[in-house]
Amino acid sequence: MNTAPFTAQPVASPHAHGGNSVTRTMFRVQLALVPATLYGFWLFGWPAFFLWLLTILACLGFEALSLKCMGSGRIKATLHDGSALLTGWLLAMTLPPWAPWWVAVVGGFIAIVIGKQVFGGIGQNVFNPAMVARVALLVSFPVPLTQWVTPLPMTHLAAPDFVDGLRIFLGSLPQPDAIASASLLGFTKTEMSRGIDLIHSLGGEHAPALSWIGARSGSFGESASLLVLAGGVYLLLCRIITWHAPAAVLAGLAIPSAIGHAVDPAHYLSVETHLLSGAAVLGAFFIATDYVTSPNTGAGQIVFGLGIGLLTWVIRTFGGYPEGMAFAILLMNALTPVIDRFAKPRILGRDRKGKALDVPQTKGA
Amino acid sequence: MGFMNLFKHFLSDGWGVHPDDHKRPAADAPVRIMPVPTKLYLPLQQHLGGPARPVVLVGQKVKKGEIIAEAQGMVSAPIHAPTSGTIVAVTEVTAPHPSGLTLPAIILESDGADEWCELRGCNDPFALEPAEIGKRVAAAGVVGLGGAAFPSAVKLIGASRAQVTTLVINGGECEPYLSCDDRLMRDAAAGIVDGIRIMLHATGAQIALVGIEDNKPEAIATMAAATADFPQVQVRPVPARYPMGSEKQLIQVLTGIEVPADGRPADIGVVVHNVGTALAVRVAVREGKPLISRLVTVNGACASAPGNIEVRVGTLAEEVIAYAGGLKGEGLGLARRVMGGPMMGMQIPHWRVPVVKGTSGILALDAGEVAEQEPNPCIRCGSCVKACPMGLLPLEMSARIRSEAFDEAIDLGLKDCIACGCCAYVCPSRIPLVQYFVHAKGELAAQDRAKLRTEATKKLAQQRQERLEREAREKAEAAARRKAEREAAAKATAATAETQGASA
């Protein structure tokens, strides 16, 4: 590849710039994650904080290491763009809050090295790095990745203090059994497999509660749907993302679940349960809108989002795993180039196929 | 249908960008008329098309308005002396082009008298034949003053032939910083409207739509007042959005018709002219005066006194800036010199570059305005896709061009790109997208030329081969013929000898 003409002093117009930058964009997304993250810390205590911190540090470290191995001269500039930090942050949000330290490190390695740098670094990866790591961890280490805890706010007496939190995180202190819990999706899946239908399992006293504010067991950052949603709305308002993908994801999940629940409430979870469980909102606003791995046009993003929503519902309802968001996103990531090929904008003066519009012949020549 | 429209509205976020316009205070400052400088530098190519051919000799004295270079070819424009004086040289000067290359030019030394040659005006242009108006506009060297500098007469005559119905007058001036059209509309609305009516007469169009961006309320008001008596000329405010002043976009907004990709506006019954051009047409037809001066906006953070200045064509940018009040701090903070607007204008290497007919602005930009930064990799955010007014995929095109897959870039619409710069303006990675497209277009043109050359060489070689073969064949045939003749002759001799022997 000949880059010589482009590295020279640019002489072509424009001689002005709108001021947007990758760093600024990534910073805004991180800002949008802050409320849900802080709430997660409060909800799940010190172990969750250590997990979050180490996942981000691991991502930054592996990013720097990969760049160094490749002999890149732009290590600092690349770390400065904030993308590795964001990947780590998003990955941490999807992990069980009390996952041990090595989950964070292995996750960071998979996300950055295998999910991103192997493809050629920022902008080149086919799959969302955080989702690659999350799925690889889930498939490889199913036990620590499905150990949920009941929320135990930091102010609670039984909550681990700083030292205990660190020890739980480092694995030297076993998790107290009393606070182990199941997520709602996992619980219903297990009960269904035991032949207990939804009406009975959810009616039982052990059924995990579901609440908008996230006071329930689940991943560290995604249980507080309302706060994640607020972050998403902030991103919409400052035009970092458009409405297409999130709306399509939620619609793709809501429509089949509404139909299913209406037909047979004993076997199909309600719309509310689907939307508030697992990674639905986080996935819709923060993962499906990942620039690199989603289609370029609004129409393409709608197809992409509907696919994610529908696949999530299918996996949750009929698949072996209780949660399917990450799998659905990876599947649709793979389809993105195809969607991009078909969902192109129409060029002015041309029809959808790229043929020039006809010159009207009505006037006398 | 209502639902579909709503759906469509949501689907398309709207093309273009909304840059800070930086038009004021320059737009509100009264026009200053710059005195004639001692020397004028007049490039022979100030327009699209063939360069003009000099018709004066060095040392020759010319009057103001006298033709000094004539049009050459179908698309060209003549050049006139902007003042009276002496031709001192026909040589090369630095042209308004980022390469800093030189162009042949005539250098005229002013005699200070500024004395007009004999002018042939016309009191009632509406009595003239449309073709005659075209001829007079051509003779006056009027070109599009919006920036592209396409010879106006060619457009007028073409429009008249194509029987256009609508004349679109471009008062958009969507480029940030520039306000010369705005100033012209505020100060000379009556003249512009007169020019528009002459153009209507020349083209045969029934209606003229004057598109003015709504960030120029004063211009809209004065133009609306000036058109009050002429129902065929209508002022249409359009939303301020870059590139509203681009031909295809303005036509679509004003008439709702799209120009076919391989067609011209005349194909759909529309012709577009700039407001400044309308005034120049009026002056050319009514007063017989050629295009020898224009309004130029001097602006940018480094300009001490931004404003609009009436400048003779051929004046060096250096002198215009000096007249306008110079640069702040002796030009210490200057980061880039630009001729034209910041979005599509060109960077010039130094200030000793002359103002030409198409120069709308001279900008002295500081580092903050240029906001130059090293490019980062593309993150596929799609901002460029949303901004592109042509509906292209700049990110995909630039990726193809990086890997030199020019054919794929063409399939993606490279040739539809109008180089407006919206994509590069919004790009968070600061990728110089326009640079890629310009590079690819240049590369393709070079390839086309190389192809033509190879074909020509091949043809010549083939002809030579054929000729050699033909000559060899002819030689062989001639040899064979001679041999046959010789043999026949020998046979004949032998036969004669035999008969003679027999008879003997």
> Domain limits of chain A?
22-342
Nearest CA in chain B to A363: B163
Residue by residue, DSSP assigns B63-121 as: -BT-EEEE--SSS---EE-SSSEEEEEEEEEE-SSTT--EEEEEEEEE-S---B-----
pLDDT of residue A4: 37
**CA–CA distance, A123 with A76 (Å, rounded to integer):** 17
Structure tokens at B289: 């005066």
Candidates A226, A334, A208; CA nearest to A285 is A226
Name residue A77's amino acid: A
Candidates A196, A193, A223; CA nearest to A209 is A223
The single-letter DSSP state of residue A287 is I
**CA–CA distance, A286 with A363 (Å, rounded to integer):** 54
CB nearest A21 (choices: B176, B428, B435):
B428
Chain B from 273 to 332: CB within 8 A of any A CB = none
CB contact under 8 A, B434 and A12: yes
Class of domain B373-504: mainly alpha
CB B269 within 8 A of CB B261: no
**Confidence band for B13, pLDDT divided at 50, 70 and 90:** low
- pLDDT tens per residue across span B126-171: 999 999 999 999 999 999 998 788 999 999 999 989 999 999 999 9
Nearest CA in chain A to B249: A348
CB contact under 8 A, A15 and B338: yes
Testing the interface with A: which of B376, B411, B416, B439 to mutate, by most A Cβ within 10 A? Answer: B376
Chain B from 17 to 46: CB within 8 A of any A CB = 17, 19
- pLDDT tens per residue across span B63-87: 999 999 999 988 999 999 999 999 9
**CA–CA distance, B385 with A301 (Å, rounded to integer):** 13
Residue B386's SS3 state is helix
**Confidence band for A8, pLDDT divided at 50, 70 and 90:** very low
CB contact under 8 A, B430 and A346: no
- b/e per residue B360-371 (b: at least 16 CB within 10 A): bbbbbbbeebbb
Instruction: Provide the percentage of residues in chain B whose pLDDT is more than 70.
Output: 96
pLDDT at B7 over 60: no
- pLDDT tens per residue across span B379-396: 999 999 999 999 999 999
Least confident of A82-86, A147-151, A206-210: A206-210
pLDDT of residue A224: 81
Residue B32's SS3 state is strand
Measure in Å the smallest separation between the Cα of B279 and chain A Cα atoms: 29
B chain contacts of residue A292, beta-carbon cutoff 8 Å: 379-380
Longest dimension (CA), chain B: 126
Least confident of A37-51, A215-229, B295-309, B467-481: A215-229
CB contact under 8 A, B424 and A291: no
- pLDDT tens per residue across span A181-193: 777 788 888 888 7
Chain B from 401 to 430: CB within 8 A of any A CB = 402-404, 411, 413, 416, 419, 421, 424-430
- pLDDT tens per residue across span B413-459: 999 999 999 999 999 999 999 999 999 998 898 988 999 999 999 99
Name the residue with higher pLDDT: B169 or A159.
B169
**Confidence band for B270, pLDDT divided at 50, 70 and 90:** very high
B chain contacts of residue A12, beta-carbon cutoff 8 Å: 98, 432, 434-435, 438
A chain contacts of residue B263, beta-carbon cutoff 8 Å: 349, 356-357, 359
CB pairs under 8 A between A and B: 181
Q: How far is CA A166 from the centre of its chain?
A: 26
Structure tokens at A87: 């990947």
CB nearest B17 (choices: A11, A18, A122):
A18
Mean pLDDT for B229-251 is 94
B chain contacts of residue A356, beta-carbon cutoff 8 Å: 260-263
CB nearest B403 (choices: A1, A292, A299):
A1
Residue B41's SS3 state is strand
Candidates A273, A250, A257; CA nearest to A317 is A257
CB contact under 8 A, B434 and A21: no
CB contact under 8 A, A16 and B369: yes
**Confidence band for A9, pLDDT divided at 50, 70 and 90:** low
Q: Report ipTM (2 d.p.).
A: 0.87
Angle, helices A298-318 vs A325-342, to 10°: value is 150
pLDDT at B9 over 50: no
B chain contacts of residue A122, beta-carbon cutoff 8 Å: 376-377, 379
Highest mean pLDDT range out of A218-222, A342-346, B167-171? B167-171
**Confidence band for A320, pLDDT divided at 50, 70 and 90:** confident
Please report which residue ranges of A147-224 form alpha helices under DSSP H: 162-170, 184-193, 198-203
> Domain limits of chain B?
373-504
pLDDT of residue B410: 92
Mean pLDDT for B235-248 is 93
CB contact under 8 A, A20 and B426: yes
Beta bridge partners of B298: B307, B362
Mean pLDDT of chain A: 86
Measure in Å the smallest separation between the Cα of B474 and chain A Cα atoms: 53
Candidates B127, B148, B54, B86; CA nearest to B356 is B148
Neighbours of A223 (CB within 10 A): 32
Q: Is B348 on the interface with A (CB under 8 A)?
A: no
Q: Is A3 on the interface with B (CB under 8 A)?
A: yes
- pLDDT tens per residue across span B313-364: 999 999 999 999 999 988 888 999 999 999 999 999 899 999 999 999 999 9
CB B426 within 8 A of CB A20: yes
pLDDT of residue A5: 38
Q: Is A297 on the interface with B (CB under 8 A)?
A: yes
Nearest CA in chain B to A20: B428
Cα Rg, chain B, nearest whole Å: 30
Mean pLDDT of chain B: 91
- pLDDT tens per residue across span A109-153: 999 999 999 999 999 999 999 999 999 999 999 888 888 887 777
CB contact under 8 A, A296 and B252: no
CB contact under 8 A, A12 and B98: yes
CB nearest A15 (choices: B263, B345, B390):
B345
| ∠ Cα A81 A86 A90 (to 5°) | 170
Name the residue with higher pLDDT: A251 or A179.
A251
pLDDT of residue A177: 60
Neighbours of B18 (CB within 10 A): 13
**Confidence band for A225, pLDDT divided at 50, 70 and 90:** confident
Candidates B163, B410, B263; CA nearest to A358 is B263
